[in-house]
Amino acid sequence: MALSKPPATATSNSSVTAGSNSNLQVVADRETMGSGPANVRDICRARRSDGPAAVLAIGTANPATCVLQDDFPDLYFRATKSEHLVGLKEKFKRLCQKLGVQKRYLHHTEELIRAHPEFLDPAQTPSLDERLDIAKTAVPELAAVASRKAIAEWGRAATDITHLVVTTNSGAHIPGVDARLVPLLGLRPTVRRTMLYLNGCFAGAAALRVAKDLAENNRGARVLVVCAELTVLLFTRPDERDFMTLMNQGLFGDGAGAAVVGADPAAGERPLFEIVSTAQAIVPGSEDAISINVTKGCYVGHISTREVPVLIGGTVERCLLDALEPLGMGAEWNDLFWNVHPGSAAILDEVDAVLRLRPEKLAASRRVLSEYGNMFGVTVIFVLDELRRRMEKGEEEGMPEWGVMLAFGPGLTVETMVLHRCVEQGGGRRRS
Protein backbone atom coordinates (compact mmCIF):
# COMPACT_ATOMS: atom_id res chain seq x y z
CA MET A 1 0.00 0.00 0.00
CA ALA A 2 1.48 3.35 -0.98
CA LEU A 3 1.14 6.31 1.36
CA SER A 4 0.02 9.62 -0.03
CA LYS A 5 2.28 11.41 2.50
CA PRO A 6 5.38 10.36 4.31
CA PRO A 7 4.46 9.37 7.88
CA ALA A 8 5.88 12.36 9.70
CA THR A 9 4.79 10.87 13.01
CA ALA A 10 7.06 7.88 12.52
CA THR A 11 9.97 10.08 13.55
CA SER A 12 8.10 12.87 15.21
CA ASN A 13 11.23 14.40 16.79
CA SER A 14 11.57 16.78 13.93
CA SER A 15 14.16 18.81 15.79
CA VAL A 16 16.15 15.84 17.09
CA THR A 17 19.52 15.43 15.46
CA ALA A 18 21.51 12.19 15.29
CA GLY A 19 19.95 11.26 12.00
CA SER A 20 16.47 10.50 13.31
CA ASN A 21 15.31 12.61 10.38
CA SER A 22 17.39 10.78 7.82
CA ASN A 23 14.68 8.24 7.02
CA LEU A 24 12.33 11.12 6.32
CA GLN A 25 15.10 12.58 4.21
CA VAL A 26 15.11 9.45 2.02
CA VAL A 27 11.37 9.80 1.52
CA ALA A 28 11.75 13.51 0.81
CA ASP A 29 14.53 12.80 -1.73
CA ARG A 30 12.28 10.39 -3.60
CA GLU A 31 9.55 13.01 -3.79
CA THR A 32 11.89 15.73 -4.99
CA MET A 33 13.24 13.34 -7.59
CA GLY A 34 9.69 12.87 -8.81
CA SER A 35 9.49 9.14 -8.21
CA GLY A 36 6.23 9.50 -6.29
CA PRO A 37 5.41 8.67 -2.71
CA ALA A 38 7.42 5.94 -1.02
CA ASN A 39 5.75 2.68 -0.15
CA VAL A 40 5.77 1.25 3.34
CA ARG A 41 8.55 -1.24 2.62
CA ASP A 42 10.82 1.54 1.36
CA ILE A 43 10.06 3.59 4.44
CA CYS A 44 10.89 0.64 6.71
CA ARG A 45 14.09 -0.13 4.83
CA ALA A 46 15.20 3.49 4.91
CA ARG A 47 14.61 3.61 8.63
CA ARG A 48 17.00 0.73 9.35
CA SER A 49 20.64 1.30 10.17
CA ASP A 50 23.36 0.03 7.85
CA GLY A 51 25.52 -1.55 10.56
CA PRO A 52 25.01 -3.23 13.90
CA ALA A 53 24.24 -1.39 17.13
CA ALA A 54 27.32 -0.73 19.21
CA VAL A 55 28.01 0.40 22.75
CA LEU A 56 29.48 3.88 22.24
CA ALA A 57 30.14 4.86 25.87
CA ILE A 58 29.74 3.49 29.39
CA GLY A 59 29.27 5.16 32.79
CA THR A 60 29.00 3.63 36.27
CA ALA A 61 28.20 4.93 39.75
CA ASN A 62 27.82 3.71 43.32
CA PRO A 63 26.57 5.28 46.55
CA ALA A 64 29.26 6.88 48.72
CA THR A 65 29.27 4.28 51.51
CA CYS A 66 31.62 1.36 50.92
CA VAL A 67 31.40 -1.70 53.20
CA LEU A 68 34.16 -4.28 53.42
CA GLN A 69 32.87 -7.84 53.44
CA ASP A 70 35.14 -8.71 56.38
CA ASP A 71 33.58 -5.93 58.48
CA PHE A 72 30.03 -6.42 57.31
CA PRO A 73 28.87 -9.15 59.74
CA ASP A 74 29.73 -6.87 62.71
CA LEU A 75 28.04 -3.89 61.09
CA TYR A 76 24.94 -5.84 60.06
CA PHE A 77 24.35 -7.61 63.36
CA ARG A 78 25.00 -4.36 65.29
CA ALA A 79 22.68 -2.26 63.08
CA THR A 80 19.90 -4.85 63.39
CA LYS A 81 20.35 -5.34 67.17
CA SER A 82 21.04 -9.02 66.59
CA GLU A 83 24.38 -9.39 68.41
CA HIS A 84 22.83 -11.99 70.72
CA LEU A 85 22.47 -14.39 67.74
CA VAL A 86 26.10 -15.45 68.07
CA GLY A 87 25.80 -18.72 66.13
CA LEU A 88 23.90 -17.06 63.30
CA LYS A 89 26.51 -14.34 63.04
CA GLU A 90 29.25 -16.98 62.73
CA LYS A 91 27.24 -18.69 59.98
CA PHE A 92 26.83 -15.34 58.24
CA LYS A 93 30.59 -14.77 58.46
CA ARG A 94 31.21 -18.15 56.80
CA LEU A 95 28.65 -17.38 54.10
CA CYS A 96 30.14 -13.93 53.40
CA GLN A 97 33.50 -15.58 52.68
CA LYS A 98 31.96 -17.93 50.09
CA LEU A 99 30.23 -15.42 47.86
CA GLY A 100 33.28 -14.02 46.04
CA VAL A 101 32.64 -10.50 47.38
CA GLN A 102 35.31 -8.33 49.06
CA LYS A 103 33.43 -5.06 49.22
CA ARG A 104 30.17 -3.43 48.23
CA TYR A 105 28.55 0.01 48.16
CA LEU A 106 25.24 0.52 49.94
CA HIS A 107 22.83 3.45 50.03
CA HIS A 108 21.46 2.39 53.42
CA THR A 109 23.87 3.39 56.17
CA GLU A 110 23.69 2.45 59.84
CA GLU A 111 22.26 5.91 60.42
CA LEU A 112 19.45 5.35 57.92
CA ILE A 113 18.63 1.98 59.53
CA ARG A 114 18.53 3.65 62.96
CA ALA A 115 16.08 6.19 61.57
CA HIS A 116 13.86 3.35 60.26
CA PRO A 117 13.51 0.72 63.00
CA GLU A 118 10.50 -0.60 61.07
CA PHE A 119 12.94 -1.96 58.43
CA LEU A 120 14.24 -4.57 60.89
CA ASP A 121 11.11 -6.63 61.07
CA PRO A 122 9.00 -6.03 57.98
CA ALA A 123 6.69 -8.98 58.69
CA GLN A 124 5.54 -7.27 61.90
CA THR A 125 5.81 -3.65 60.78
CA PRO A 126 5.03 -3.15 57.08
CA SER A 127 7.52 -0.67 55.66
CA LEU A 128 7.25 -0.94 51.88
CA ASP A 129 5.98 2.65 51.58
CA GLU A 130 8.98 4.08 53.45
CA ARG A 131 11.42 2.05 51.37
CA LEU A 132 9.76 3.09 48.13
CA ASP A 133 9.94 6.73 49.25
CA ILE A 134 13.71 6.39 49.62
CA ALA A 135 14.05 4.69 46.23
CA LYS A 136 11.86 7.30 44.52
CA THR A 137 14.55 9.95 44.87
CA ALA A 138 17.74 7.95 45.35
CA VAL A 139 17.40 5.61 42.34
CA PRO A 140 17.01 8.39 39.71
CA GLU A 141 19.82 10.39 41.34
CA LEU A 142 22.24 7.45 41.24
CA ALA A 143 21.09 6.60 37.71
CA ALA A 144 21.75 10.20 36.68
CA VAL A 145 25.35 10.08 37.94
CA ALA A 146 26.13 7.00 35.82
CA SER A 147 24.25 8.47 32.84
CA ARG A 148 26.14 11.79 32.96
CA LYS A 149 29.43 9.88 32.87
CA ALA A 150 28.29 7.85 29.84
CA ILE A 151 27.06 10.98 28.02
CA ALA A 152 30.30 12.85 28.82
CA GLU A 153 32.36 9.98 27.44
CA TRP A 154 30.16 9.80 24.36
CA GLY A 155 31.03 13.47 23.79
CA ARG A 156 27.73 14.71 22.40
CA ALA A 157 24.87 16.71 23.90
CA ALA A 158 22.28 15.01 26.11
CA THR A 159 19.68 16.43 23.72
CA ASP A 160 21.08 14.12 21.00
CA ILE A 161 19.75 11.09 22.93
CA THR A 162 16.68 9.92 20.99
CA HIS A 163 15.60 6.92 23.13
CA LEU A 164 15.86 6.02 26.80
CA VAL A 165 15.64 2.46 28.16
CA VAL A 166 15.65 2.30 31.95
CA THR A 167 15.51 -0.71 34.19
CA THR A 168 15.28 -1.19 37.94
CA ASN A 169 13.94 -3.63 40.49
CA SER A 170 14.12 -0.89 43.10
CA GLY A 171 10.86 0.93 42.81
CA ALA A 172 7.36 0.90 41.45
CA HIS A 173 6.52 4.50 40.65
CA ILE A 174 4.63 6.19 37.86
CA PRO A 175 6.02 8.41 36.47
CA GLY A 176 9.08 6.24 36.85
CA VAL A 177 12.85 6.63 36.85
CA ASP A 178 12.74 7.15 33.08
CA ALA A 179 10.59 10.28 33.40
CA ARG A 180 12.67 11.60 36.32
CA LEU A 181 15.83 11.24 34.24
CA VAL A 182 14.54 13.57 31.53
CA PRO A 183 14.94 16.79 33.57
CA LEU A 184 17.88 15.43 35.60
CA LEU A 185 19.92 14.83 32.45
CA GLY A 186 18.48 17.62 30.30
CA LEU A 187 17.06 15.17 27.77
CA ARG A 188 14.51 16.35 25.25
CA PRO A 189 10.88 15.99 26.40
CA THR A 190 10.34 14.08 23.16
CA VAL A 191 12.91 11.37 24.03
CA ARG A 192 11.19 7.99 23.53
CA ARG A 193 11.17 6.19 26.88
CA THR A 194 10.88 2.50 27.78
CA MET A 195 10.75 1.53 31.46
CA LEU A 196 11.47 -2.08 32.49
CA TYR A 197 10.54 -2.82 36.11
CA LEU A 198 11.27 -6.02 38.06
CA ASN A 199 13.33 -8.08 35.63
CA GLY A 200 15.71 -9.32 38.32
CA CYS A 201 19.34 -9.78 37.41
CA PHE A 202 18.85 -10.20 33.66
CA ALA A 203 17.55 -6.61 33.42
CA GLY A 204 20.81 -5.07 32.18
CA ALA A 205 21.16 -7.50 29.30
CA ALA A 206 17.44 -7.13 28.50
CA ALA A 207 17.81 -3.34 28.33
CA LEU A 208 20.80 -3.64 25.98
CA ARG A 209 18.81 -6.08 23.82
CA VAL A 210 15.95 -3.57 23.54
CA ALA A 211 18.47 -0.80 22.79
CA LYS A 212 20.00 -2.84 19.96
CA ASP A 213 16.60 -3.28 18.33
CA LEU A 214 15.77 0.42 18.73
CA ALA A 215 19.12 1.52 17.32
CA GLU A 216 18.98 -0.80 14.32
CA ASN A 217 15.37 0.03 13.47
CA ASN A 218 15.59 3.80 13.85
CA ARG A 219 18.44 5.08 11.69
CA GLY A 220 20.51 7.56 13.63
CA ALA A 221 18.94 6.69 17.00
CA ARG A 222 21.14 7.13 20.06
CA VAL A 223 19.75 5.07 22.93
CA LEU A 224 20.68 5.73 26.54
CA VAL A 225 20.45 2.49 28.55
CA VAL A 226 20.30 3.00 32.32
CA CYS A 227 20.16 0.37 35.09
CA ALA A 228 20.05 1.30 38.77
CA GLU A 229 19.52 -0.73 41.94
CA LEU A 230 19.26 -0.09 45.69
CA THR A 231 18.96 -3.04 48.06
CA VAL A 232 17.16 -1.07 50.79
CA LEU A 233 14.00 -2.72 49.41
CA LEU A 234 15.37 -6.10 50.58
CA PHE A 235 16.81 -5.07 53.93
CA THR A 236 15.70 -7.04 57.02
CA ARG A 237 17.22 -8.27 60.26
CA PRO A 238 18.79 -11.78 60.18
CA ASP A 239 16.37 -14.60 60.90
CA GLU A 240 17.52 -18.06 61.98
CA ARG A 241 14.53 -19.63 60.23
CA ASP A 242 15.15 -17.88 56.90
CA PHE A 243 18.50 -18.40 55.17
CA MET A 244 17.54 -15.81 52.55
CA THR A 245 17.85 -13.01 55.11
CA LEU A 246 21.56 -13.86 55.23
CA MET A 247 22.00 -14.43 51.52
CA ASN A 248 20.31 -11.18 50.50
CA GLN A 249 22.39 -9.10 52.93
CA GLY A 250 25.69 -10.79 52.11
CA LEU A 251 25.58 -10.83 48.32
CA PHE A 252 23.87 -7.79 46.85
CA GLY A 253 25.24 -4.28 46.35
CA ASP A 254 23.93 -0.94 45.10
CA GLY A 255 24.97 0.75 41.87
CA ALA A 256 24.00 2.18 38.52
CA GLY A 257 25.34 1.58 35.02
CA ALA A 258 24.61 3.45 31.80
CA ALA A 259 25.56 2.94 28.18
CA VAL A 260 24.96 4.91 24.99
CA VAL A 261 24.03 2.55 22.15
CA GLY A 262 23.84 3.47 18.48
CA ALA A 263 24.55 2.12 15.00
CA ASP A 264 26.66 3.62 12.19
CA PRO A 265 29.00 5.70 14.39
CA ALA A 266 29.40 9.30 13.31
CA ALA A 267 32.70 11.19 13.27
CA GLY A 268 33.91 11.58 16.84
CA GLU A 269 31.92 8.61 18.15
CA ARG A 270 34.04 5.69 19.34
CA PRO A 271 32.36 2.27 19.29
CA LEU A 272 33.47 -0.08 22.08
CA PHE A 273 31.50 -3.29 21.47
CA GLU A 274 29.17 -4.15 18.60
CA ILE A 275 26.06 -6.04 19.71
CA VAL A 276 25.91 -8.78 17.09
CA SER A 277 22.97 -10.87 18.29
CA THR A 278 20.73 -11.29 21.32
CA ALA A 279 18.59 -14.13 22.67
CA GLN A 280 16.53 -14.99 25.72
CA ALA A 281 15.53 -18.42 27.02
CA ILE A 282 13.66 -19.83 30.02
CA VAL A 283 15.24 -22.88 31.65
CA PRO A 284 12.49 -25.55 31.77
CA GLY A 285 11.23 -26.48 35.23
CA SER A 286 13.05 -23.64 36.97
CA GLU A 287 10.26 -21.16 37.67
CA ASP A 288 10.71 -21.30 41.46
CA ALA A 289 14.51 -21.10 41.42
CA ILE A 290 14.75 -17.30 41.79
CA SER A 291 11.86 -15.05 42.74
CA ILE A 292 11.18 -11.61 44.15
CA ASN A 293 7.79 -10.86 45.72
CA VAL A 294 6.66 -7.36 46.57
CA THR A 295 4.98 -7.57 49.97
CA LYS A 296 3.62 -4.89 52.26
CA GLY A 297 6.74 -5.38 54.40
CA CYS A 298 9.50 -5.26 51.81
CA TYR A 299 10.72 -7.15 48.76
CA VAL A 300 11.07 -10.83 49.64
CA GLY A 301 13.70 -12.48 47.51
CA HIS A 302 14.08 -16.23 47.22
CA ILE A 303 17.03 -18.03 45.62
CA SER A 304 17.37 -21.82 45.46
CA THR A 305 21.05 -21.43 46.22
CA ARG A 306 22.09 -25.02 45.55
CA GLU A 307 19.94 -25.50 42.42
CA VAL A 308 20.62 -22.23 40.61
CA PRO A 309 24.29 -22.91 39.74
CA VAL A 310 23.38 -26.45 38.60
CA LEU A 311 20.45 -25.23 36.47
CA ILE A 312 22.66 -22.59 34.84
CA GLY A 313 25.45 -25.10 34.29
CA GLY A 314 23.00 -27.50 32.65
CA THR A 315 21.67 -24.96 30.15
CA VAL A 316 24.46 -22.56 29.35
CA GLU A 317 26.12 -24.60 26.60
CA ARG A 318 22.83 -24.99 24.68
CA CYS A 319 22.18 -21.22 24.90
CA LEU A 320 25.67 -20.49 23.61
CA LEU A 321 25.43 -22.93 20.71
CA ASP A 322 22.01 -21.51 19.74
CA ALA A 323 23.55 -18.03 19.65
CA LEU A 324 26.86 -18.82 17.97
CA GLU A 325 26.13 -21.56 15.44
CA PRO A 326 23.99 -19.30 13.20
CA LEU A 327 27.01 -16.98 13.07
CA GLY A 328 29.26 -19.79 11.92
CA MET A 329 31.06 -20.11 15.26
CA GLY A 330 31.47 -23.28 17.30
CA ALA A 331 32.19 -24.37 20.82
CA GLU A 332 35.74 -23.02 21.10
CA TRP A 333 34.84 -21.27 24.33
CA ASN A 334 38.37 -20.14 25.11
CA ASP A 335 38.48 -18.28 21.78
CA LEU A 336 35.92 -15.78 23.11
CA PHE A 337 35.99 -13.00 25.70
CA TRP A 338 33.40 -13.29 28.46
CA ASN A 339 30.97 -11.09 30.36
CA VAL A 340 29.08 -13.45 32.68
CA HIS A 341 26.67 -12.01 35.28
CA PRO A 342 28.47 -12.75 38.54
CA GLY A 343 25.46 -13.99 40.53
CA SER A 344 27.95 -15.36 43.06
CA ALA A 345 31.29 -17.20 43.00
CA ALA A 346 29.41 -20.52 42.79
CA ILE A 347 27.73 -19.46 39.53
CA LEU A 348 30.99 -18.35 37.93
CA ASP A 349 32.68 -21.57 39.11
CA GLU A 350 29.92 -23.62 37.51
CA VAL A 351 30.15 -21.76 34.16
CA ASP A 352 33.95 -22.12 34.33
CA ALA A 353 33.69 -25.86 34.96
CA VAL A 354 31.06 -26.63 32.32
CA LEU A 355 32.81 -24.63 29.59
CA ARG A 356 36.33 -25.53 30.76
CA LEU A 357 37.38 -21.91 30.57
CA ARG A 358 40.93 -20.78 31.23
CA PRO A 359 41.21 -18.95 34.58
CA GLU A 360 41.61 -15.49 33.03
CA LYS A 361 38.37 -15.78 31.01
CA LEU A 362 36.04 -14.79 33.84
CA ALA A 363 38.50 -12.37 35.46
CA ALA A 364 36.41 -9.28 34.62
CA SER A 365 33.24 -10.87 36.09
CA ARG A 366 35.10 -12.04 39.19
CA ARG A 367 36.67 -8.62 39.75
CA VAL A 368 33.31 -6.82 39.54
CA LEU A 369 31.73 -9.34 41.95
CA SER A 370 34.64 -8.87 44.33
CA GLU A 371 34.67 -5.04 44.20
CA TYR A 372 30.93 -4.32 44.05
CA GLY A 373 28.89 -7.46 44.86
CA ASN A 374 25.92 -8.63 42.81
CA MET A 375 24.14 -5.43 41.70
CA PHE A 376 21.34 -7.24 39.84
CA GLY A 377 21.07 -6.06 36.20
CA VAL A 378 23.63 -3.31 36.74
CA THR A 379 26.44 -5.84 37.09
CA VAL A 380 26.88 -6.75 33.41
CA ILE A 381 27.36 -3.07 32.55
CA PHE A 382 30.14 -2.88 35.15
CA VAL A 383 31.70 -6.02 33.63
CA LEU A 384 31.50 -4.45 30.15
CA ASP A 385 33.26 -1.39 31.54
CA GLU A 386 35.88 -3.60 33.21
CA LEU A 387 36.52 -5.46 29.92
CA ARG A 388 36.91 -2.15 28.11
CA ARG A 389 39.26 -0.84 30.80
CA ARG A 390 41.41 -3.98 30.55
CA MET A 391 41.60 -3.70 26.77
CA GLU A 392 42.42 0.01 26.76
CA LYS A 393 45.17 -0.54 29.31
CA GLY A 394 46.54 -3.43 27.29
CA GLU A 395 45.94 -5.78 30.24
CA GLU A 396 44.19 -8.36 28.07
CA GLU A 397 47.04 -9.48 25.85
CA GLY A 398 45.54 -11.41 22.96
CA MET A 399 41.92 -10.80 23.93
CA PRO A 400 39.71 -12.35 21.23
CA GLU A 401 37.65 -10.18 18.90
CA TRP A 402 34.44 -12.02 19.65
CA GLY A 403 32.79 -12.42 23.01
CA VAL A 404 29.60 -13.32 24.84
CA MET A 405 27.50 -11.73 27.54
CA LEU A 406 25.46 -14.11 29.70
CA ALA A 407 22.96 -12.82 32.25
CA PHE A 408 20.69 -14.83 34.53
CA GLY A 409 17.59 -13.98 36.51
CA PRO A 410 14.12 -15.07 37.56
CA GLY A 411 12.38 -17.43 35.18
CA LEU A 412 15.01 -18.91 35.34
CA THR A 413 15.94 -16.71 32.42
CA VAL A 414 19.19 -16.71 30.46
CA GLU A 415 20.02 -13.72 28.24
CA THR A 416 22.75 -14.45 25.69
CA MET A 417 24.40 -11.67 23.70
CA VAL A 418 27.16 -12.04 21.11
CA LEU A 419 29.59 -9.13 21.14
CA HIS A 420 32.34 -8.00 18.81
CA ARG A 421 34.95 -5.72 20.31
CA CYS A 422 36.01 -2.52 18.58
CA VAL A 423 38.63 -1.55 21.16
CA GLU A 424 42.17 -2.59 20.35
CA GLN A 425 44.55 -3.53 23.14
CA GLY A 426 46.20 -0.28 24.10
CA GLY A 427 43.12 1.85 23.44
CA GLY A 428 42.68 2.28 19.65
CA ARG A 429 39.34 1.70 17.96
CA ARG A 430 38.52 -0.48 14.99
CA ARG A 431 35.33 -0.87 13.02
CA SER A 432 34.33 -4.08 11.31
Ligand X SMILES: CC(=O)CC(=O)SCCNC(=O)CCNC(=O)[C@H](O)C(C)(C)COP(=O)(O)OP(=O)(O)OC[C@H]1O[C@@H](n2cnc3c(N)ncnc32)[C@H](O)[C@@H]1OP(=O)(O)O
Amino acid residing at 177: V
Per CB under 6 A, 409 contacts ligand X: yes
- 72 or 376: CB nearest ligand X: 376
Q: Report the residue from 95, 172, 184, 357 that binds ligand X according to the rule CB under 6 A.
A: 95
Please identify, among the stretches 224-232, 277-285, 398-406, 407-415, the one whose residues bind ligand X according to the rule CB under 6 A: 407-415
- 76 or 408: CB nearest ligand X: 408
* Closest approach of ligand X to the CB of residue 199, in Å: 8
**Would you tell me how many other CB atoms lie within 10 Å of the CB of residue 424?**
14
Site string for ligand X, 54-83 (x = CB under 6 A): ------------------------------
* Closest approach of ligand X to the CB of residue 245, in Å: 11
- 151 or 380: CB nearest ligand X: 380
Please identify, among the stretches 223-231, 271-279, 325-333, 343-351, the one whose residues bind ligand X according to the rule CB under 6 A: 343-351
Per CB under 6 A, 200 contacts ligand X: yes
Per CB under 6 A, 343 contacts ligand X: yes
**Three-state SS letters, the chain:** CECCCCCHHHHCCCCCCCCCCHHHHHHHHHHHCCCCCCEHHHHHHHHCCCCCEEEEEEEEECCCCEEECCCHHHHHHHHCCCCCCHHHHHHHHHHHHHCCCCEEECCCCHHHHHHCHHHCCCCCCCCHHHHHHHHHHHHHHHHHHHHHHHHHHHCCCHHHCCEEEEEECCCCCCCCHHHHHHHHHCCCCCCEEEEEECCHHHHHHHHHHHHHHHHHHCCCCEEEEEEEECHHHHCCCCECCEHHHHHHHHHECCEEEEEEEEECCCCCCCCCEEEEEEEEEECCCCCCCEEEEECCCCEEEEECCCHHHHHHHHHHHHHHHHHHHHHCCCCCHHHCEEEECCCCHHHHHHHHHHHCCCHHHHHHHHHHHHHHCECHHHHHHHHHHHHHHHHHCCCCCCCCCEEEEEEEECCCEEEEEEEEECECCCCCECCC
Q: How far is CA 108 from CA 23, 57, 188, 243, 292, in A?
A: 47, 29, 32, 21, 20
* Closest approach of ligand X to the CB of residue 142, in Å: 18
CA 57 to chain centre: 14
Per CB under 6 A, 348 contacts ligand X: no
Please identify, among the stretches 206-214, 223-231, 299-307, 416-424, the one whose residues bind ligand X according to the rule CB under 6 A: 299-307
Please identify, among the stretches 90-98, 218-226, 323-331, 382-390, the one whose residues bind ligand X according to the rule CB under 6 A: 90-98
- 193 or 367: CB nearest ligand X: 367
Please identify, among the stretches 22-30, 220-228, 266-274, 306-314, the one whose residues bind ligand X according to the rule CB under 6 A: 306-314
Active-site residue identified among 96, 201, 227, 422: 201
Q: Report the residue from 54, 165, 260, 290 that binds ligand X according to the rule CB under 6 A.
A: 290
Per CB under 6 A, 347 contacts ligand X: yes
* Closest approach of ligand X to the CB of residue 235, in Å: 15
Per CB under 6 A, 243 contacts ligand X: yes
Determine the size of the site formed for ligand X (CB under 6 A). 23
Per CB under 6 A, 303 contacts ligand X: yes
Q: Report the residue from 101, 228, 410, 418 that binds ligand X according to the rule CB under 6 A.
A: 410
Q: Is 319 an active-site residue? A: no
- 13 or 199: CB nearest ligand X: 199
Catalytic residues: 201
In the complex, the residues that contact ligand X under the rule CB under 6 A are 91, 94-95, 98-99, 200-201, 243, 290, 303, 305-306, 308-309, 343-344, 346-347, 374, 376, 408-410
